Structure 1
Amino acid sequence: MESAKISPFQLFVLILLFELGSALLYPLGITAKQDAWLAILFAMVGGFGIFFIHYALYHYYPDQLPTTYTQRILGKFFGKIAAFIYMLFILYLAARALRDFGEMLAILGYPQTPLVINHFLLILVVIYAVRKGIEVIGRAGEILFTLIYVLAIFGFIFIIASDLIHLSNLKPFLEDGILPVLKTAFTRVVFFPFGEVFVYAMIFPYVNQPKKVKKAGILALLLIGINLAISTAINISVLGYTKIERTQFPLLNTIQAIEIAEFLQRLDIFFMLSLIILGFFKVAIYFYVVIIGTADLFKIRESAKLAFPLAFVVIFLSIVVANNSLEHIEEAKKIASIYIQLPFQVLIPALLLLIAFFKKRKGKG
């Protein structure tokens, strides 16, 4: 493990920025129609459950990375295989996150620039941060956290001042009953973004006050759920859910609608600035976890040496993962949630926790 440490507040900030990342890009939970905001709140409760599974494993093995304690739980042979598969999964998620923000830049700002160039420029900054270590990423998070929320508050004020909000778009409440909302919450939104907190199992051992990890994680997920529910409710009240269903970036459309006294308008740049910052933390955390996990698994002392070779792997995967942006989004909707995220975020960790529980009970853990 790296000798660096972060504070509980830095953990809180990093979880918040990481989870908001690409969740603000896309129409989250919109299959629940005008009740999408409610689906997000239900999914947040499920996110607490996923967090507690990984926190319980950390509680059993507070000084070890998951790549190490998985071998203690399953045995060295099967544990190494499981840990290696997890690293591949996180590498895949890093590539998908990079593709999310590469597509955003291609669509909004650089339509003539090849996608691979966008990815390359983003990953260069990530490599620099990751080589500096988790302390530097944590400090950057503390600074940029304030900027993100200042921009969000001003955006909210401008939307209200532009008289764009129509609460009638949020009605009728529970038009089709509670079941479609619960289905959306627990088959999609709970895995993205809330379930992605599983990756922080690799970060927990770096927190300098272990007793405050649980509080930091719960508060972060709570604030994420509230923020996303408010953002989604605003998007629906401004655009209506039928328009959001046909929109790739609904928050962008909402911000583009801002117009005050025919003077203050075209605030797209603030949307892009915020999302690029959030995208940096999303990719950086995934990439950092892959590097330290791979180094721990294969006993590589200087994990920073893995940054450049793994960066090229991430860039390659980010290009080949889908032929176009629509295929990329459809893959996330139809394949990733149930067939990939459910086993890796919930089922396998729950099984590891069960085995660890019985091992600890027998004094063999």
Structure 2
Amino acid sequence: MESAKINAYQLFVVIVLFEMGSAILVGLGSGAKQDAWIAILLGLGGGLAVFLIYYQLYKYYQDIPLTSYVQKIAGKWIGRMIGVSYIIYFLYCAARVLRDFGELLASTIYTATPLIVINCLMIFTIIYGIHKGFEVIARVGELFFIVIYMMAFVGFGLIMFSGLIHLENLRPVLENGLKPVLSTFLTETINFPFGEMVVFTMILPYLNDSKKAKWVCLGGMILSGINITITAVINVAALGTAIFTRANFPLLSTISRIQLANFIERLDVLFMLYLVIGGFFKISIFFYAAVAGAADIFGFKNYTKLSFPMGALVLFTSITIASNFAEHIKEGLQVVPIYLHWPFQILIPSFLLMIAFFRNRKKKEEKSKKLPMEE
């Protein structure tokens, strides 16, 4: 790993930007219709519980990333196989988010620009950021954190003053019972975006004060979860359930409806600015974790040498991952959560924690037996 160090505030900012990332752009929780906000809050609760698994693993192995301590827990060869699997998983997630980013820009502003050109520009920017190091990415995050919140307050104020909010669209609460909400929670909101905190198992060793890790991460998750919930409430209240569930990008539809004093309108630029910033940080974190993990497992002293070939792989995957956007979304909602997110975010870390717990308990028992003998 590089010798980078970040402070607690920088980690907090990066977590908020990462978690909000593309979750605000898409209709998160739309399967629960007007109860999307309940599914998101349940996902936040589940995500916080899952993060405690990652944190406990971090407490056992504070100075090394996931790809290193998995070899200590599961053995060298099995551990390496699991580590390589996580690298592929992070690369795949980076490619999915890159496709989301490219599709939105291609379908709204750059309608005549090929998807590969848009994705190329983003991945080259991210590779440049990786070359500068994680500390630089964290510092850039501090700057854009303020920019995003300024845009959010302006956008929220304009939506309110435009009279777009109709709270009756949020009723009736739990019209179809708990089943749609629980189904959305288990197959969507617990994994995306909250379960994606698994990527920070590669980042936490950079924190300069390990004692603050737990509350910084939980705080970042809670703030981003509240922001995503508020966004879902605004989208449902402004658009209604029918449009909210059908729209690929509900927030864009909401912002497009802003009209104030026959002068302030067509504020899609706010959405696009957030899209570029959120997309950059989301893809960067996944991509950095994959590059750092590959360098760790395969013994590369200079991890930046891997950024170009792995960046090309992410770019190629983002284009070939699906033949069209509808197929891409369907795959992301029906296939990825069950076959990728649940195993890599919840099942494998849970097994690793159980093995680590028994191994560390055994070591403590052996130490306690040695001490009386020495005396």
Shift of 1:265: 0.2
Which range is displaced more, 339-348 or 170-179? 170-179
Shift of 1:87: 0.5
Q: Deviations over 1:328-363 (max 9, x none)?
A: 000001101111100000000100000000000111
Partner-residue secondary structure (3-state), 1:163:
coil
The 5 A counterparts of 1:254-269 are 254-269=254-269
The 5 A counterparts of 1:162-201 are 162-201=162-201
Q: Deviations over 1:18-66 (max 9, x none)?
A: 1111111111101111110111001100000111111110110001111
In the alignment, is the contact (CA less than 8 A) between 1:46 and 1:186 conserved in 2? no
In structure 2, the residue matched to 1:336 is: 336
Paired AA for residue 136 in structure 1: V
Q: Deviations over 1:257-311 (max 9, x none)?
A: 0000100000001100111100000111111111110000001000011111111
Q: 1-side partners of 2:179 and 2:6: how far apart? A: 41
In structure 2, the residue matched to 1:320 is: 320
The 5 A counterparts of 1:282-301 are 282-301=282-301
Paired AA for residue 262 in structure 1: N
Paired AA for residue 128 in structure 2: Y
Q: 2-side partners of 1:328 and 1:125: how far apart? A: 24
In structure 2, the residue matched to 1:205 is: 205
Q: 1-side partners of 2:245 and 2:76: how far apart? A: 48
Q: 1-side partners of 2:246 and 2:186: how far apart? A: 23
In structure 2, the residue matched to 1:240 is: 240
Shift of 1:178: 2.3
Shift of 1:2: 0.8
In structure 2, the residue matched to 1:221 is: 221
Q: 1-side partners of 2:184 and 2:4: how far apart? A: 39
Q: Deviations over 1:51-101 (max 9, x none)?
A: 111111011000111111100001101111110111011111111111110
Quote the RMSD (CA, aligned, Å). 1.0
In structure 2, the residue matched to 1:153 is: 153
Paired AA for residue 335 in structure 2: I
In structure 1, the residue matched to 2:70 is: 70
In structure 1, the residue matched to 2:116 is: 116
Paired AA for residue 326 in structure 1: A
Shift of 1:246: 1.5
Q: 2-side partners of 1:269 and 1:278: how far apart? A: 14
Q: 1-side partners of 2:182 and 2:315: how far apart? A: 36
In structure 1, the residue matched to 2:373 is: none
Shift of 1:182: 1.9
2:82 aligned with 1:82: yes
Partner-residue secondary structure (3-state), 1:22:
coil
Paired AA for residue 83 in structure 2: A
In structure 2, the residue matched to 1:11 is: 11
Q: 2-side partners of 1:339 and 1:175: how far apart? A: 30
Q: 1-side partners of 2:98 and 2:181: how far apart? A: 29
Q: 2-side partners of 1:103 and 1:180: how far apart? A: 28
Q: 1-side partners of 2:340 and 2:241: how far apart? A: 28
Q: Deviations over 1:125-159 (max 9, x none)?
A: 10111111110000000000000000000100000
In the alignment, is the contact (CA less than 8 A) between 2:83 and 2:297 conserved in 1? yes
In structure 1, the residue matched to 2:370 is: none
In structure 1, the residue matched to 2:305 is: 305
In the alignment, is the contact (CA less than 8 A) between 2:27 and 2:248 conserved in 1? yes
In the alignment, is the contact (CA less than 8 A) between 2:159 and 2:255 conserved in 1? yes
Q: 1-side partners of 2:104 and 2:179: how far apart? A: 33
Q: Select the structure of larger CA radius of gyration.
A: 2
Q: 1-side partners of 2:274 and 2:77: how far apart? A: 44
In the alignment, is the contact (CA less than 8 A) between 2:13 and 2:145 conserved in 1? yes
Q: 1-side partners of 2:326 and 2:177: how far apart? A: 30
Where do 5+ consecutive residues of structure 2 fail to align?
367-375
The size of the alignment, in residue pairs, is: 365
Paired AA for residue 186 in structure 2: F
Q: 1-side partners of 2:202 and 2:356: how far apart? A: 17
In the alignment, is the contact (CA less than 8 A) between 1:71 and 1:79 conserved in 2? yes
Q: 2-side partners of 1:181 and 1:89: how far apart? A: 27
Partner-residue secondary structure (3-state), 2:363:
coil
Partner-residue secondary structure (3-state), 1:191:
coil
Given the two structures, how large is their TM-score scaled by the length of structure 1? Answer: 0.99
In structure 1, the residue matched to 2:371 is: none
Shift of 1:180: 2.1
Partner-residue secondary structure (3-state), 2:22:
helix
Q: Deviations over 1:221-267 (max 9, x none)?
A: 11111111110000000000111122111000100100001000000
In structure 2, the residue matched to 1:345 is: 345
Paired AA for residue 65 in structure 2: L
Given the two structures, how large is their TM-score scaled by the length of structure 2? Answer: 0.96
In the alignment, is the contact (CA less than 8 A) between 2:53 and 2:349 conserved in 1? yes
* Percent identical residues: 50
Q: 2-side partners of 1:324 and 1:77: how far apart? A: 38
Shift of 1:179: 2.8
Q: 2-side partners of 1:10 and 1:108: how far apart? A: 32
2:101 aligned with 1:101: yes
Q: 2-side partners of 1:246 and 1:32: how far apart? A: 13
